[in-house]
Amino acid sequence: MTKSNEPTVSLELGNGKTVNLHHGMFINNEFVPSKAGKKLEVYNPAKGKVIGEIYQGDADDVDAAVKAARTAYEANNRAWGFGFAGQRAKLLNKLADLVEANLDELAALEATDTGKLFSDAKTKDIPGVITTLRYYAGWADKIMGHTYNSVPGAHAYTKLEPVGVCGQIIPWNFPAPLSPLSASPSWFVRLASLLESSTSSPGLGHTAGQAIADHMDVDKVAFTGSGAVGRKILKAAADSNLKRVTLELGGKSPNIIFDDANVKEAAEWALFGIEMNVGQVCVAGSRILVQEGIADEFTREFVNLMKGIKVGDPFDPSTTQGPLQSEGHFGKVKDWIKRAVEEGAELATGGDEIKDLGDGYYLRPTVFTNVKPGNSVLANEVFGPVVSIQTFKDEEEAIKIANDTTYGLASAVFSHNNERLMRMNTAIRAGTVWNNLYNYTSPTVPFGGFKQSGIGRENGEAVLLNYLETKAIIANTGVIRSPMAVAAGR
């Protein structure tokens, strides 16, 4: 129930419906305006117009949230020990029930805010929220330590305890799915959390994200976003209280297609690899590597599929690509395309803005061919519907090209040769390697990057240690004498 003094806003969704929403910050169990009263405009990227405002937090608001979180954590930590795991699981499942009951409205909200297809939000993003909440609810009563029989005369064991107050900074491309993905592991281990979305901000600056990273009473920060901001997070963590850090950063993922692959199926998966969420995905398959013998056939098939993409209103059931998320990001993607052409890459299709769809941020799906080593489009994360096609002679060259990047988030290999797949799975330096598919995952499977694509893992059992401290307890069973007693012969 909305309290009379809590800030709300009437928001027009992309489907024409209107909803009343809280637009304050949720601190100490209530929605409140920012202390400075500053607000951010919220745009519908499909229309290119302002549809509402939300309060913008700064360091003072973060400090208030941290104090509330610390108080709650210290007051409830003993009562909310692992003996109450069933209650925590019940609450996570109740939240999942509420999300499920409001699926259509939440999907419409997500599509309006980000520009992603309503059909994707309804069948993938919001159901993903539900799945994630239920998955971590199941973990609540399964946090266990170990006993050690290798310490003579002592009972030695470990217990896992929550790290404390955690700040989570989520990206703008998947705000709904990544909120529970970041927060659920901390909730079920009884952490107090601060959740902050980066929106489409130009960087940390003097925002809530910077304040979280700087704060001396935040014990851990988890960040998903660009490498440039990830470095700022690491520096802030080191310069403050050496808080623990998990980073999920960018990628420039290779999609490798060998000549024994099914060309049609590989092209269809490659389309999904770059077109999911208009290419605004950290694991986007933006570098397609095709073996020379099938390069022409694959390129024809893939380019035809890209030309068949219908760009338009995200709420139109026939649309297969919506707008980019913001005007600023739209401009950056166009700049990358222009730069790639200037550096010699050939446009096989796309590359231009679509101007007959109103004021939204629409871009035609873009394919580059004959891209030479050193071209900017091969090295940089464009974060849009932009893909390059390169060729390779053999397995060795494919590995060399695939690993020629500072990133190591994801990759894919298409082949019907299982021995080759096993070799490639080992040789590719990436946190995820898909075989004969792309962009297919689950909250049960660990996710994270090699090299400059991040630190730590999200999802599955692997995420648990990000939010837990291991405490070792060594108890005298009554037979171990002190050094003084031994020296005295007692």
Report the Cα 287 to chain-centroid distance in Å: 20
Q: Is 248 a catalytic residue?
A: yes
pLDDT classification of 140: cutoffs 50, 70, 90: confident
Give yes or no for residue 1 having a pLDDT over 60: no
Range with the poorest average pLDDT among 172-186, 427-441, 453-467: 172-186
What is the arithmetic mean of pLDDT over 116-124?
97
254-435 folds as Aldehyde Dehydrogenase; Chain A, domain 2 (3.40.309)
Does the structure show a pLDDT above 70 at 204? no
Q: What is the third-level CATH fold of 8-249+460-472?
A: Aldehyde Dehydrogenase; Chain A, domain 1 (3.40.605)
Residue 79 has pLDDT above 90, yes or no: no
Specify the higher pLDDT residue, 15 or 177. 15
What pLDDT sits at residue 422? Answer: 99
Helix (H, G, I), strand (E, B) or coil at 174: coil
Q: What is the pLDDT of residue 350?
A: 98
Instruction: Choose the catalytic residue: 248, 301, 381, 458.
Output: 248
pTM: 0.93
Q: What is the pLDDT of residue 333?
A: 98
Q: How far, in Å, are 5, 184, 450 from residue 168 at the CA level?
A: 27, 11, 21
Question: Using one digit for the tens of pLDDT, what is the confidence trace for 316-364?
Answer: 999 999 999 999 999 999 999 999 999 999 999 999 999 999 999 999 9
Distance CA 265, CA 186 (A): 39
Q: What share of the chain has pLDDT > 70, as a percent?
A: 92
Residue spans of the domains in the chain: they are: 8-249+460-472, 254-435
Mean pLDDT of 46-50: 95
Q: What is the share, in percent, of the chain residues with pLDDT greater than 90? A: 77
Phi-psi region of 472 (alpha: psi -120 to 50; beta: other; left: phi over 0): beta
Say if residue 465's pLDDT is above 90.
no
Helices (H) and strands (E) in the chain, counts: 15, 21
Phi, psi of 470 (to 5 degrees): -95, 120
Average pLDDT over residues 82-88: 72
pLDDT score for 192: 62
Instruction: Quote the DSSP letter at residue 38.
Output: -
Between 72 and 379, whose confidence is greater?
379
Q: Report the chain's mean pLDDT, rounded to a whole number.
A: 92
Query: What does the pLDDT read at residue 175?
Result: 84
